[in-house]
Amino acid sequence: MPRPTVATSLSAKLLLLTILFVLLAEVLIYAPSIARFRMSYLEERLAAANIAALSVEAAPDLMVTKELQAKLLAYTGTHVIDLIQPGARVYMLSRPMPPQADAVYDLRGTGMGMQFVDAGNALWLALEGALGEALGGAVGPQRNRVIRVIDRSPNDPAQRVEVTMDERPLIDAMLDFSRRILAVSVAISLIAAILVYVTLHALLVRPMRRLTAEVVAFRRDPDGAPPLVPGTRADEIGVAERELAAMQGTVRAALRQRERLAALGTAVAKINHDLRGILSTASLLSERLTESADPEVRRVTPRLVASLDRAVELCSQTLSFTRDGVLPLSPAPTDLRRLVEEVGAEVLATARPDGGRVEADWVNEVPAGTLAQVDAAQLGRALVNLGRNAVQAGADRVRISIQAEPANRLTLTVADNGPGLAPRARENLFQPFAGSARAGGVGLGLAIAREVLRAHGGELRLVESDAAGTAFALDIPQCNADTGAVAVAAHKSFVSH
Interval 300-336: pLDDT, tens: 777 666 666 656 665 665 656 555 555 567 899 999 9
Confidence of residue 432 (pLDDT cuts 50, 70, 90): low
Q: What is the pLDDT of residue 489?
A: 40
Burial class of residue 192 in the structure, from the number of CB atoms within 10 Å of its CB (0-12 exposed, 13-18 middle, 19+ buried):
middle
Confidence of residue 23 (pLDDT cuts 50, 70, 90): confident
Q: What is the pLDDT of residue 415?
A: 94
Q: What is the pLDDT of residue 389?
A: 85
* Bridge partners, 403 (sequence order): 411
Residue 236 in contact with residue 45, Cβ under 8 Å?
no
For residues 303 and 189, the model is more confident at 189
Residue 435 in this model has a pLDDT that exceeds 80: no
Q: What is the pLDDT of residue 372?
A: 92
Indicate the DSSP class of residue 62: G
The mean pLDDT value for 179-202 works out to 81
Where is 68: in which H helix or E strand?
Answer: helix 66-76
Determine if residue 106 is left, alpha or beta; phi over 0 gives left, psi from -120 to 50 gives alpha, anything else beta.
Answer: beta
Q: What is the pLDDT of residue 141?
A: 43
CA distance 303 to 473: 33
- 218-227, 439-448, 457-466: which range is least confident on average? 439-448
| Alpha helices for 77-167 (secondary structure H) | 112-134
CA distance 467 to 69: 117
Would you give the distance in Å from CA 27 to the centre of its chain?
A: 33
Phi (first) and psi of residue 82, to 5 degrees:
-125, 125
Residue 197 in contact with residue 14, Cβ under 8 Å?
yes
Where is 371: in which H helix or E strand?
Answer: strand 371-374
Interval 40-56: pLDDT, tens: 999 999 999 888 888 77
Q: What is the pLDDT of residue 327?
A: 59
Residue 355 in contact with residue 317, Cβ under 8 Å?
no
Interval 453-494: pLDDT, tens: 888 889 999 999 888 899 999 999 887 655 444 344 434 333
CA distance 51 to 154: 10
Global pTM value: 0.44
